[in-house]
Amino acid sequence: MSDRPDADADAVKTYLLDLQDRICAALRETDGGAGFREDAWERPGGGGGRTRIMQDGAVFERGGINFSHVFGERLPPSASANRPELAGRGFQAMGVSLVVHPQNPYVPTSHLNVRFFIAERPDAEPVWWFGGGFDLTPYYGFEEDVRHWHRAAREACLPFGEDVYPRCKEWCDRYFYLKHREEPRGVGGLFFDDLSEGGFDHSFTFMRSVAEAYLPAYLPIVNRRWAKQYGDEERAFQKYRRGRYVEFNLVYDRGTLFGLQSGGRTESILMSLPPEVSWRYDYRPEPGSPEAELYERFLKPRDWLADEATVA
């Protein structure tokens, strides 16, 4: 992390608002049926945001894309957990967070978050950092889709060094892991936090590279799978696996915890939850079934691009 006060928060905010606009436009075009409802909101403690929700579209059952820019007198515990020396500082935090839950069980759920923090106090220079990433949560596994997703993730990282993708990929595998289930949430992607190495311009450029990779990573998968036929059995499995998504977001997710601890807008914080979900007691998929294959082949962290040459 850096103590240099060279951060340009206005530039970050301008970029994030534009990012939200462009992603909403792309998802609206892909869905072809539903638009977004927008709620602009203000936070009593300072700041606010705009939440955009798509419901019951032709392709997406729910898509939530939130921009927030909030201020406070004390960093919440979730934001200072890795840097306890910053506890008690005032802060401003801004970011774009989205989760897309598809109608078709053969289309994965996807998540993107990019964020920027500044921790401040009157007698010290501001401390700033970036964080974020994206990950994919399939219900039925297709190696072609997962390879494409990780290829896009690697390409986003390559301009910053060949070691960056493996490091952020492994961080993602560790972060999106349900300890009480002893299983990953999905097939991973990228995750990074506390980034200020190389200065503001370098860190901001990396955050933008990750954000810009999301649509090229996700939309080809959506277009490949959204029309695939499915039945009640596939839909029931999708709802069951969505339960894991809920468990992770409510138990472990630092973004959810930060939003709740900082007094954010509850509806916007919990927009990431799927609209329909179920839990089954001691469910075990039929051996040899596509559902079992998800556990056996896809919910196991691995190097999805091990046999592909890296070209900078």
Q: Which residues are annotated as a binding site for substrate?
A: 97, 113-115, 263-265
100 vs 62: CA distance, rounded Å: 6
Tell me the binding residues. 97, 101, 111, 113-115, 150, 180, 263-265
Q: 78 is written with which tokens? A: 């979730």
Residue numbers annotated as active site = 111
Nearest residue to 110 (alpha-carbon basis) of 22, 255, 216, 240: 216
**Residue pointed to by tokens 């556990």:** 295
Query: What is the average per-residue pLDDT within 14-31?
Result: 97
Q: For the chain, what is the mean pLDDT?
A: 90
Confidence at residue 261, expressed as pLDDT on a 0 to 100 scale? 74
Please state the rounded mean pLDDT for residues 93-100.
Answer: 95
Q: How many residues does the chain have?
A: 312
pLDDT for position 82: 65
Work out the number of other CB atoms within 10 angstroms of the CB of residue 201.
11
Q: Please report the pLDDT score of residue 1 as a whole number.
A: 40
Please report the pLDDT score of residue 71 as a whole number: 85
**Percent of the chain's residues with pLDDT above 90:** 71
Per-residue model confidence (pLDDT) at position 80: 54
Residues that constitute the known binding site for a divalent metal cation: 101, 111, 150, 180
Rounded Cα gap, residues 177 and 277, in angstroms: 19
Stretch 110-115: mean pLDDT: 97
Using the predicted structure, report yes or no on whether residue 3 has a pLDDT greater than 60: no
pLDDT score at 2: 42
Chain segment 139-183, per-residue pLDDT in tens: 999 999 999 999 999 999 999 999 999 999 999 999 999 999 999
- Provide the pLDDT for residue 4: 47
Could you tell me which CATH class the domain 9-309 is placed in?
alpha beta
What pTM, to 2 d.p., does this model score?
A: 0.91
Per DSSP (E only), the strands in the chain are 37-42, 47-55, 60-72, 90-102, 109-121, 124-137, 177-178, 183-184, 188-195
pLDDT at 121: 74
Per residue in 237-287, pLDDT tens? 999 999 999 999 898 877 787 777 767 678 877 888 899 999 999 999 999
